[in-house]
Amino acid sequence: MQLQQGRPENFAERLPKEQKVYDFLDSLGIHYWRVDHEPAMSMSVCTAINETLEAVICKNLFLCNRQETDFYLLMMPGDKKFKTKDLSAQIESSRLSFASPEYMERFLDITPGSVSVMGLMNDTEHRVKLLIDEDVLKHPYVGCHPCINTSSLRIPVEEMTGKVFPALGHTPRLVTLPAYDE
């Protein structure tokens, strides 16, 4: 794995949804770095990628309420455990669970294992609310997938908050999730 700046050289060979992410970032003048790798299907694989990426690797969870009327994308540090009770009270939504892959694909144009804040660029109806654990923003860089789990991006937090989120049209809501001892 090698850290590279900007879009891949083999851009035309990438999936359209990944190309769309690079076009979006470039249109905003975002400075980003990329690591290409085997599919990252677990946080343990992402930990190895982070050795090259040197960014806070986010666990991105796509959640919904029981009625499947409210949807959330939660960005949290990968080393934190997620317990629904810690989030439910803060956002006043009981009975949170993982949303189905069908909703994930419909709203964000992503599949399980590729959940990323970049998928919000496909949420033109603003059905998904962005939630961010405050610890994510304490790092200089955030890591995310470009809507596919065979690459990971490193983006400066200040550019994510100052340029990316406003361009996505999704104002993040900060939440505080506790760190549990294993």
pLDDT band at 54 (very low <50, low <70, confident <90, very high): confident
* Domains observed in the chain: 4-170 (3.90.960.10)
Q: In this predicted structure, what is the pLDDT of residue 39?
A: 78
pTM beyond 0.75: the answer is yes
pLDDT band at 78 (very low <50, low <70, confident <90, very high): confident
Phi-psi region of 138 (alpha: psi -120 to 50; beta: other; left: phi over 0): alpha
Q: In this predicted structure, what is the pLDDT of residue 42?
A: 65
> Exposed e or buried b for every residue in 120-145, given b needs 16+ CB within 10 A?
bbbbeeeebbbbbbebbbebebbbbb
Query: Residue 17 and residue 82: Cα distance in Å, rounded?
Result: 28
- pLDDT tens-digit profile of 114-151? 899 999 999 999 999 999 999 999 999 999 999 998 89
